[in-house]
């Protein structure tokens, strides 16, 4: 570094808020939209904020491509990203080279509240590209990446890590990340090998151990196992985290963040027709955001996951749609048909009886499964120890007539289930 560069870096450091000051400045958010490739783009963040999210992360962006390719930037970052309606915002990058990381981060530092380093991605593409969780053994490199941003960026640097099998090693790892300058730390309580069919449950006890052992002033976010709004407060209380981050819980049900309105099922398990309409409208309003348009089909599939097996004509139409289809086509082939179907359901005389959320018994993991009618957004359950979530829910129910009917619905749905994108 030249003397001038050192002086500039020192100056940037002196003007920086501490993690705690920054957390206070952005309103002490407690409900966070996780970074999700092709899924936590602008339109989705706007929808999620309306349903209770108080902080959002962008999808992981590839730092080298972002810094060097205009096309990549245009595809992934629009003039609307990070604007007034899209704050507070953390922009996440994956990287293995401090020069590229800093160059990329500089391009967004005026449009976000912090820049995050992805240290959790476990996918083959991350192994090949040498980033995400495949840096977990290279502590010097990680330290260098984080401290370069800490010293040279106007905004804070943060990091999202996975855990190791060994708690003490996880703690040393977290300490190293903080020592390098990370101002918020997100801990996803799974090890690198927990992905795809092997995802299983996140380990809240290890997350809690890290929270307890790290300095009190550390701004600490917990990630993993959130299915319902109640799980957010349960997680915060159990772990003592400042906030809880959700990925899949949020993707399948944006209402998961509505912690203040847990009695209002239209807020916590919104009707799929209403959410589809609202989200579609937001995407149309975000036309400058290519990423929002590209991600739309995948979001439709996730929002409609419980609904589509019951209405396979709409599912077939959705499967044939592509991002280039006109707004009118989306409206006529998907949005309106879903609205018509759900409207018909709500005209049935016994709808009050059918439109019930049922809470199961308390489970060993601390929360309870719910059965939710298929016309409402609801969580996707990952298999745990080879048992699918839907079967776990069914085991948990008592056999009232109502439940028997639901069982039939759920079994029909599971027999028809299709897996879609999982990162």
Ligand X SMILES: Cc1cc2nc3c(=O)[nH]c(=O)nc-3n(C[C@H](O)[C@H](O)[C@H](O)COP(=O)(O)O)c2cc1C
Of the candidates 196, 65, 187, which has an alpha carbon nearest to the alpha carbon of residue 123? 196
Nearer to ligand X, 251 or 342 (CB): 251
Report in angstroms how near the CB of residue 200 gets to ligand X at its nearest.
Answer: 10
In the numeric block, the tokens 């969580």 are attached to 379
Q: Strand runs (DSSP E) across 18-63, as ranges?
A: 31-33, 55-57, 61-62
Across the chain, how many H-helices and E-strands are there? 21, 11
Nearer to ligand X, 318 or 397 (CB): 318
Beta carbons of 104 and 64 less than 8 angstroms apart? yes
Distant-in-sequence, close-in-space partners of 250: CB < 8 Å, separation ≥ 6: 33, 34, 48, 53, 256, 257
Nearer to ligand X, 39 or 292 (CB): 39
Nearer to ligand X, 245 or 358 (CB): 245
According to DSSP, the residues that pair with 244 across neighbouring strands are 31, 222
Beta carbons of 323 and 300 less than 8 angstroms apart? no
364 CB-side CA count, 13 A: 3
Q: 88 is written with which tokens?
A: 């507070």
β 358-362/368-371 pair status: antiparallel
Q: 307 is written with which tokens?
A: 């609904």
Nearer to ligand X, 201 or 345 (CB): 201
Nearer to ligand X, 37 or 275 (CB): 37
Distant-in-sequence, close-in-space partners of 191: CB < 8 Å, separation ≥ 6: 162, 163, 164, 165
According to DSSP, the residues that pair with 264 across neighbouring strands are none
Is 170 exposed, middle or buried, given 0-12, 13-18 or 19+ CB atoms closer than 10 A? buried
Q: 150 is written with which tokens?
A: 């800490």
Q: What does the binding site for ligand X look like in residue numbers (CB under 6 A)?
A: 34-37, 39, 59-60, 92, 118, 120-121, 160, 188, 202, 223-226, 246-249, 421-423
Q: 31 is written with which tokens?
A: 């409900």
Q: Cβ atoms within 10 A of the Cβ of 41, count?
A: 27
Report in angstroms how near the CB of residue 350 gets to ligand X at its nearest.
Answer: 35
Residue 224: left if φ>0, alpha if ψ -120 to 50, beta else—which one?
Answer: left
Report in angstroms how near the CB of residue 201 gets to ligand X at its nearest.
Answer: 9
Report in angstroms how near the CB of residue 402 gets to ligand X at its nearest.
Answer: 30
Residue 240: left if φ>0, alpha if ψ -120 to 50, beta else—which one?
Answer: left
Cis before 88? omega within 30: yes
Report in angstroms how near the CB of residue 348 gets to ligand X at its nearest.
Answer: 34
* Closest chain position to ligand X (CB): 60
Beta carbons of 227 and 353 less than 8 angstroms apart? no
Let me know if 286 is a catalytic residue. no
Report in angstroms how near the CB of residue 365 gets to ligand X at its nearest.
Answer: 12
Q: Which of 112, 121, 235, 286 is catalytic?
A: 121
Report in angstroms how near the CB of residue 226 gets to ligand X at its nearest.
Answer: 5
Report in angstroms how near the CB of residue 121 gets to ligand X at its nearest.
Answer: 6
Nearer to ligand X, 81 or 248 (CB): 248
Nearer to ligand X, 46 or 159 (CB): 159
Residues with catalytic roles:
121
């Amino acid at each position: 570094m030249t003397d001038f560069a050192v002086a500039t870096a020192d100056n940037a450091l002196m003007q920086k808020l501490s993690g705690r000051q920054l957390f206070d400045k952005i309103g002490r958010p407690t409900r966070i939209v996780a970074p999700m490739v092709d899924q936590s783009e602008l339109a989705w963040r706007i929808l999620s904020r309306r349903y209770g999210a108080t902080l959002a992360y962008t999808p992981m962006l590839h730092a080298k491509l972002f810094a060097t390719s205009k096309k990549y930037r245009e595809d992934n970052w629009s003039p609307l990203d990070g604007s007034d309606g899209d704050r507070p915002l953390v922009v996440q990058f994956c990287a293995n080279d401090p020069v590229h990381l800093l160059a990329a981060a500089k391009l967004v530092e005026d449009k976000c509240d912090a820049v995050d380093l992805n240290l959790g991605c476990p996918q083959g593409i991350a192994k090949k590209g040498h980033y995400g969780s495949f840096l977990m053994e290279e502590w010097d490199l990680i330290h260098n990446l984080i401290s370069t941003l800490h010293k040279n960026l106007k905004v804070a640097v943060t990091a999202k890590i996975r855990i190791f099998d060994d708690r003490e090693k996880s703690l040393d790892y977290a300490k190293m990340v903080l020592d390098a300058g990370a101002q918020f730390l997100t801990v996803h309580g799974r090890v690198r090998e927990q992905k795809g069919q092997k995802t299983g449950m996140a380990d809240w006890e290890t997350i809690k151990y890290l929270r307890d052992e790290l300095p009190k002033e550390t701004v600490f976010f917990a990630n993993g196992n959130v299915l319902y709004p109640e799980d957010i407060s349960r997680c915060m209380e159990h772990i003592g985290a400042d906030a809880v981050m959700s990925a899949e819980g949020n993707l399948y049900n944006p209402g998961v963040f509505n912690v203040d309105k847990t009695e209002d099922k239209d807020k916590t398990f919104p009707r799929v027709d209403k959410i589809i309409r609202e989200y579609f409208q937001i995407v149309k309003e975000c036309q400058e955001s290519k990423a929002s348009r590209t991600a739309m089909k995948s979001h439709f599939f996730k929002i409609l996951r419980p609904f589509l097996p019951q209405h396979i004509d709409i599912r077939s139409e959705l499967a044939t749609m592509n991002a280039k289809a006109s707004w009118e086509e989306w409206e006529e082939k998907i949005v309106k048909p879903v609205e018509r179907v759900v409207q018909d359901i709500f005209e049935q005389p016994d709808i009050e009886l059918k439109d019930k959320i049922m809470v199961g018994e308390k489970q060993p993991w601390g929360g309870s499964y719910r059965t939710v009618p298929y016309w409402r957004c609801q969580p996707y359950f990952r298999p745990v120890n080879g048992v699918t979530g839907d079967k776990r829910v069914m085991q948990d129910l008592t056999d009232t007539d109502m439940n028997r009917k639901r069982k039939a619905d759920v079994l029909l749905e599971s027999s028809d289930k299709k897996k879609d994108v999982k990162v």
